[in-house]
Amino acid sequence: SLSLSLSLSHISCLQVLNEKKLQEVDSLWKEFETPEKANKIVKLKHFEKFQDTTEALAASTALVEGKLSKNLKKILKKIVAKDAHEQLAVADAKLGGVIKDKLNLSCIHSPMVTELMRGIRSQIEGLITGLPSREMAAMCLGLAHSLSRYKLKFSPDKVDTMIVQAISLLDDLDKELNNYIMRCREWYGWHFPELGKIITDNLTYCKCVRKVGDRRNFASSDVSDILSEEIEEDVKAAAEISMGTEVSEEDINNIIHLCDQVIEISEYRTQLYDYLKNRMMAIAPNLTVMVGELVGARLIAHAGSLLNLAKHPASTVQILGAEKALFRALKTKRDTPKFGLIYHASLVGQTTAKNKGKISRMLAAKTALTIRYDALGDDTSAEMGAENRLKVETRLRHLEERGIRRISGTGKALARADKYQNKSEVKIYDPSGDSTLPTAPKKRKIQEVEDQEAGVAVKAKKLKTETK
């Protein structure tokens, strides 16, 4: 078999002399301990040095992109065409696939090939004569700089790195800032606990502590540039009757240093946020219009780059950031989450809880379109994002108005007829109305006759007494 070696300074093709020793991958490095041993395993078959840096850069960039350069194609046709029954060992699997497609040559890439390439590189000076190590190092350094400049210039992901790093740093600053502010409030709260209840804004609190220091200085200090007149009077009144403990001047100095750190970090955070906002409007304007710069930057950071995010379907964009909840729901066979990072978008936040799922689904669909337009389109305007946002807002308004219309009973709800409901009454059948024939009179009982006769006798006595 043959081994193809592409260096930053040359192209070389070596023939493997003893293939049996290549089967022992773990002990292959022993065969390349010295140049003499290495010459017993491989032998140089063809060597071609690059004429200048431009040619070397063209070959290296083609190798990085997984393409076959013209120079390499000529060499392979010249050398390997005669020995087509042999395999070509390559270190890059993509390059091997291209060579197989273009030239119909059998290529191999395996852990054995990786160890073989490592051994060849370690003894390259002994295998190839006329390559001084100092000259090789200088050529490699110059070509490495040229290749790096090429990558930075033509890489479509280069600006995404700025956004990913900026949003990550912004989140880290928020955490650190919160820890510092809480520490400052607790620390100075031992000396002046009432100040924390009067001043709720964290940055104003730190500025006030930094300017005044000891609470006894509030009476003689002017903090009108930081606080309003009403709050300033409340602070001065609270300072005179404070329940806080006395602290030393060294303690106050350390608290002031902490306040300096909080103020500096807050100013830098504001500057970083403006930078991120400008970057997002330059790189992904339509995405920024749809979901905002913070949510858009977090989506890009989560996917790795804008191009990777553009490859995701709308359903994935919708739940991006909620992977733990998704897999937990799939494992327990429960309902999957409706939204991930997109939940923090302003359009989802201003909807009612009932319509959040619908709006997040529609917003994810429109956002996926804007992401692909930003990643692959030539136009840098934000018109498409504005149009899609208007559609989502219109849909949101219809959903909200439909809910209000159902509650108030306006529109079609008034014209809708009520459902007829018949009130059922329980009736008992009267069997006396079945026959029309006259019935025979019933015989009276003895007790009824006696009662009737007694009644007639009583009435007769009353009439006699009245006549007398």
Question: What band does 412 get if pLDDT is binned at 50, 70 and 90?
Answer: low
Instruction: Write the pLDDT tens digit of every residue in 51-75.
Output: 777 777 787 777 777 777 777 777 7
Least confident of 131-145, 185-199, 284-298: 131-145
Q: How far apart are CA 41 and CA 21, in angstroms?
A: 8
Bigger pLDDT: 406 or 194?
194
Burial class (CB in 10 A: 0-12, 13-18, 19+), 291: buried
Q: How far apart are CA 39 and CA 120, in angstroms?
A: 10
Question: What band does 448 get if pLDDT is binned at 50, 70 and 90?
Answer: low
Question: What band does 467 get if pLDDT is binned at 50, 70 and 90?
Answer: low
Q: How far apart are CA 269 and CA 440, in angstroms?
A: 110
Bigger pLDDT: 420 or 147?
147
**Secondary structure of residue 323 in the 3-state scheme:** helix
Query: Can you count the helices (H) and strands (E) in the chain?
Result: 22, 5
Q: How far apart are CA 47 and CA 60, in angstroms?
A: 17
Instruction: Write the pLDDT tens digit of every residue in 193-237.
Output: 898 889 989 999 999 999 888 888 888 888 888 888 889 888 888
All structural domains of the chain: 2-154 (3.30.420.220), 162-276 (1.10.287.4070), 284-408 (1.10.246.90)
pLDDT score of 375:
87
Bigger pLDDT: 4 or 384?
384
Bigger pLDDT: 162 or 424?
162
**Secondary structure of residue 89 in the 3-state scheme:** strand
Q: Report the percent of the chain where pLDDT is more than 70.
A: 79
Q: Report the percent of the chain where pLDDT is more than 90.
A: 25
pLDDT score of 157:
45
- Threshold 0.75, pTM exceeds: no
Q: How far apart are CA 116 and CA 89, in angstroms?
A: 9
